[in-house]
Amino acid sequence: MSCHAPVQDLSQEPQFPAPMGPKPLRTVALIGPPNCGKSTLFNRLTGLRQKVANYPGVTVEHHSGRMKAIGRNDLTLIDLPGIYSLATYSEDARVAVEVLTGKMPGVPKPDCVLLVLDATHMNRQLMLAAPVFSIGLPTLVLLNMADQLEARGGKIDTLAMAHALGHPVALISAANGTGLDVIPEFLLRTGSRPDDGSRPVQLPVLQSAASCRNWATQVTARTKYQAPAAALWTRRLDNVLLHRVWGPLIFLAVVIAVFQVVFLAGQPLSDWLTEIMTRAGTQAALLLPDNWLRLMLRDGLWNGVQSVLVFLPQILLLFLFIGILEDSGYLARAALIADRVMRAIGLNGKAFIPLLSAYACAVPAIMATRTIENKRERLATIMIAPFMTCSARLPIYTLIIAAFIPNRLFLGGLIGMRAMTMLGLYLLGFLAAMGTAKLLNSSVMKASTAPFILELPQYRWPTIQGLALRLYDRGKLFLKKAGTIILACTFIVWMLSVLPVHGGHFSELTSSLIGRLGHFIEPVIHPLGFNWKIGIGLLSSIVAREVIVGTLGTLYGMDPATHSLGLQSALRGDMTLGGAVALVVFFAFAMQCTSTLAVVRRETNSWKYPAVQFAYMTVVAYVAALVTNQVISRLF
Amino acid sequence: MEVTALSNAKVGSAGVVETIDLPEEVSHHLAHLGFLPGTSVEVLRRAPAGDPRVYRIDGVEVGLRNETAKHIYLRLTSEGEAA
């Protein structure tokens, strides 16, 4: 690694009068290996005020935030990707090096570094310390998981360690929030004098993993580090959770339980929210004069946006479970169990994590495929990710299931028909993804297998704070979408449904612009069991899947015949069972998401892939919905 | 004791890594998880489907497919029970 003399970049310096004394601190970098508890610490230091963005030109996510939680609103903390070394084999490591050396455009050069290491296996973790020290920034070494270390009988002499490393060292627990006082102290000291107490020490040859390792082992030996005993509980739990028979069964039970709870607990919450919002809408409408404004606000906008907003409880519940599974360490076990299936369809086990996150949203999932080194495997993963059932499908699924599937319970109330239908839809998306992967693997893109290397973290309790932050993030995103894209689409649908104006009167729904458009496309979708209103819903949902629920809310709210009914009853009266099931099947397969298309375009750097993907998924969706409707309408 | 491929070692057996015969970027990644000549490794368990298997190295548990593990050679220090 070459060490360049720091270059003063005047354009990045704010034009303040130069302060007396040393240059004040502005930017702090947080770095550490994967699974060291870095993000927990980041959340502790910044609270909720963090920004997530991508580094220019690459898809590595960039979290940064003001260190408000420790009273240093003047400092920006940059969270670097979790990496094992600074050797630039991966994009993550390249980003880290560029940020630390001040070469990342748009990111100011950090003034100091917080290096987080997992105190429970120092031999390995210290390997990252040497290359980080060599960059030459003031560094505070934070040995995390002090609670684990102590509980399992490990010992670290932080003074001896600081002496051996030539940098200040502290033992902390990010999960419990203990020992964090050293951070503001370090920042204060580093800000007030250019010398932070670092002393040069002998560093190993950085390019060689073996020499870094030898150095690390020498340091731990010299400082009489005692590694803690094996995590007994993790071993015991894995005896069950990775058991030949119990493992897969528990895996299945966990998945079913998640859907069951999302349904059983989510539905009443959602109903309750609907009631409150309808009442609020009616009350508020009374304050408005009885003219087109009231029509527009209540029937147009409020109905539309409300019908999407009421799905917030289900979405938050789903993310709560994903969060618990991930934070507890179970997700890595799930990847281990699933690897065999992934391999059968020519995918790397590493594709499992992006695909799993595609259950939340395909956009971050496609960005996460950057961790797959093999280009063809990465492309295959990108192509199949949008088949995974993302949370944007949840509103239309829930709506149709609640309207058409009876609430019958089996096995003494353990398994409900609605939850099973939902699970079936998730399975359908998964099978479509698998089938497509197999197709790609056997024809266009024959993949060579990149290695599957998976670290199994020890089990731990998810923290309330970590989970709350996830839900807050997701909820905010969903509400933002409802307030922007969905609101705008609903507005356009409403406008088109009352225009053209005849002699000062709005059009009847069927003779409006949207009515005419709907009837024009009806022949194409009629064989699927869809009427023209559903057709308009499909057209509007090309922007984003949730929009269909908003559009239907507006359209049925505008129609005098269904005006006073809820959306569920309105649909029940206006669709056959075949058409309803065909609709959710259509949504299981179709690529109704402009954000996904845009991110695929950016990731593959070509319009070819998103175009092929859109066409392929739409054709599959159409054919599947056609077959579904024809079969069901003949059977029932 | 004899040198064997990691993928051939029985569950419960342990040994010391001798050589790793894998492409540069793979062995680099493995090195940072502790797979370096001279470190001791233990075959912990296998995934329900039999492959991948889980190894304990340096206090960390790492899952590897047999196709990767067969390029890592170790000198056995203790035999496991029948797998």
| CB of A448 less than 8 A from some CB of B | no
Q: Binning pLDDT at 50, 70 and 90, where does residue A17 land?
A: very low
**CB-based contact A165:A219 (threshold 8 Å):** yes
**Average pLDDT, stretch A319-334?**
83
| Domain hosting residue A519, numbered range | 478-635
CB spacing of B65 vs A228 below 8 angstroms: no
- Residue B41: the pLDDT is 93
* Residue ranges of A 118-157 with Cβ closer than 8 A to chain B: 120-121, 123-124, 127-128
Chain B residues with beta carbon closer than 8 angstroms to that of A336: 47, 52, 54, 63
CB spacing of A238 vs B47 below 8 angstroms: no
- Residue B1: the pLDDT is 66
Does the pLDDT value for residue A539 go beyond 50? yes
Q: For A149-173, write each residue's pLDDT tens digit.
A: 888 888 889 899 998 898 999 999 9
d(CA A556, CA A570): 7
Look over chain A and give the mean of its residue pLDDT values, rounded to a whole number.
80
CB spacing of A242 vs B33 below 8 angstroms: no
Q: For A200-257, write each residue's pLDDT tens digit.
A: 666 777 778 888 888 888 898 888 888 888 778 888 888 888 888 898 899 888 877 8
**A140 or A323, greater pLDDT:** A140
Query: How far is A251 from chain B, CA to nearest CA, in Å?
Result: 11
Of B38, B43, B6, the residue nearest A451 (C-alpha) = B6
d(CA A569, CA A575): 10
Residue among B60, B62, B64, B70 with most chain A CBs within 10 A, to mutate? B60
In a domain, A175, yes or no: yes
In a domain, A324, yes or no: no
Domain end point (choices A182, A201, A229): A229
Chain A CA closest to residue B44 = A235
DSSP of A46-69: HTT-EEEEEPTTS--EEEEEEEGG
Interface of B with A (CB under 8 A): 22, 25-26, 28-34, 36-37, 45, 47-52, 54, 56, 58-65, 67-68
CB spacing of A453 vs B32 below 8 angstroms: no
In angstroms, how far is CA A584 from the centroid of its own chain? 23
CB spacing of B32 vs A127 below 8 angstroms: yes
Q: Which of A380-389, A390-399, A486-495 has the lowest mean pLDDT?
A: A486-495
Interface ipTM: 0.90
d(CA A456, CA A375): 25
- Residue A169: the pLDDT is 93
pLDDT over 90 percentage in chain B = 39
CB spacing of B28 vs A85 below 8 angstroms: yes
Name the β-bridge partners of A173: A178
Q: Which of A39-43, A50-54, A139-143, B68-72 has the lowest mean pLDDT?
A: A50-54
- Could you tell me the residue ranges of all domains in chain B? 3-78
In terms of Cβ atoms closer than 10 Å to its own Cβ (0-12, 13-18, 19+), residue A329 is buried
Of A565, A398, A558, A564, the residue nearest A493 (C-alpha) = A558
**Average pLDDT, stretch A492-520?**
74
- Residue A19: the pLDDT is 44
One-letter amino acid of A483: G
Q: For A30-84, write each residue's pLDDT tens digit.
A: 999 887 888 888 888 887 656 555 444 444 567 788 888 888 888 889 988 888 8
The residue assigned the tokens 């270059």 is A7
Chain A residues with beta carbon closer than 8 angstroms to that of B26: 451, 453
In terms of Cβ atoms closer than 10 Å to its own Cβ (0-12, 13-18, 19+), residue B23 is exposed
**A514 or A33, greater pLDDT:** A33
Q: For B1-28, write each residue's pLDDT tens digit.
A: 688 999 999 999 999 999 999 888 788 8
Task: Select, from the ranges A206-220, A402-416, A421-435, the one with the highest average predicted confidence (pLDDT).
Answer: A421-435
Token pair in block for residue A10? 């005047």
Domain end point (choices A179, A196, A229): A229
- Residue A322: the pLDDT is 77
Sign of dihedral through CA atoms A232, A233, A237, A238? negative
Nearest by CB to A121, from B31, B50, B58: name it: B58
The Cβ-side half-sphere exposure at A175, using a 13 Å CA radius, reads 16
Q: Binning pLDDT at 50, 70 and 90, where does residue A139 land?
A: very high
DSSP B50: S
| CB of A32 less than 8 A from some CB of B | no
Q: For A179-203, write each residue's pLDDT tens digit.
A: 889 999 898 888 776 555 566 666 7
Give the relative orientation of helices A312-328 and A246-286 as an angle to the nearest 10 degrees. 150
**A84 or A9, greater pLDDT:** A84
**A493 or A619, greater pLDDT:** A619
Nearest by CB to B26, from A227, A238, A451: name it: A451
Chain A residues with beta carbon closer than 8 angstroms to that of B54: 238, 242, 336, 456
Q: Where are the beta strands (DSSP E) in A150-255?
A: 169-171
- Residue A176: the pLDDT is 82
DSSP of A407-420: --EETTTTEEHHHH
Chain A residues with beta carbon closer than 8 angstroms to that of B60: 121, 124, 455-456
In a domain, A358, yes or no: no
Chain B residues with beta carbon closer than 8 angstroms to that of A352: none
In a domain, A465, yes or no: no
DSSP A301: I
DSSP B72: E
Query: How far is B35 from chain A, CA to nearest CA, in Å?
Result: 10
Q: Let me know how long chain A is.
A: 636
d(CA A359, CA A483): 23
- Residue A22: the pLDDT is 55
In a domain, A527, yes or no: yes
Does the pLDDT value for residue A361 go beyond 50? yes
- Residue A198: the pLDDT is 60
Domain end point (choices A210, A229, A248): A229
**A45 or A266, greater pLDDT:** A45
> Which CATH fold would you assign to the domain B3-78?
SH3 type barrels. (2.30.30)
Chain B residues with beta carbon closer than 8 angstroms to that of A234: 61
Token pair in block for residue A468? 């709350």
- Residue A3: the pLDDT is 41
**A470 or A2, greater pLDDT:** A470
**Average pLDDT, stretch A295-308?**
73
Beta strand pairing status for A27-31 and A112-118?
Answer: parallel
pLDDT over 70 percentage in chain A = 84
**Average pLDDT, stretch A317-346?**
81
Chain B residues with beta carbon closer than 8 angstroms to that of A243: 48
Does the pLDDT value for residue A352 go beyond 80? no
| CB of A451 less than 8 A from some CB of B | yes
**Average pLDDT, stretch A523-544?**
85
**B55 or A175, greater pLDDT:** B55
- Residue A106: the pLDDT is 81
CB spacing of A123 vs B25 below 8 angstroms: no
| CB of A210 less than 8 A from some CB of B | yes
| CB of A92 less than 8 A from some CB of B | no
Query: CB neighbours (10 Å) of residue A442?
Result: 11
In terms of Cβ atoms closer than 10 Å to its own Cβ (0-12, 13-18, 19+), residue A108 is middle
**Number of domain units in chain A:** 2
pTM of the full predicted structure?
A: 0.74
Q: Residue A434: left if φ>0, alpha if ψ -120 to 50, beta else—which one?
A: alpha
Residue among A236, A239, A452 with most chain B CBs within 10 A, to mutate? A452
Chain B residues with beta carbon closer than 8 angstroms to that of A337: 47-49
CB spacing of B59 vs A120 below 8 angstroms: yes
In a domain, A40, yes or no: yes
**Average pLDDT, stretch A304-319?**
76
CB spacing of B49 vs A124 below 8 angstroms: no
**Average pLDDT, stretch A519-548?**
85
- Residue A625: the pLDDT is 94
Nearest by CB to B48, from A127, A247, A453: name it: A247
| CB of A51 less than 8 A from some CB of B | no
Q: Which of A413-417, A507-511, A542-546 has the lowest mean pLDDT?
A: A507-511
Query: CB neighbours (10 Å) of residue A183?
Result: 22
Q: Which of A244-253, A305-314, A496-505, A535-544 has the lowest mean pLDDT?
A: A496-505
Chain B residues with beta carbon closer than 8 angstroms to that of A452: 52, 63-65, 68
For residue A212, give the CATH number of its domain.
3.40.50.300
Sign of dihedral through CA atoms A386, A389, A392, A395? positive
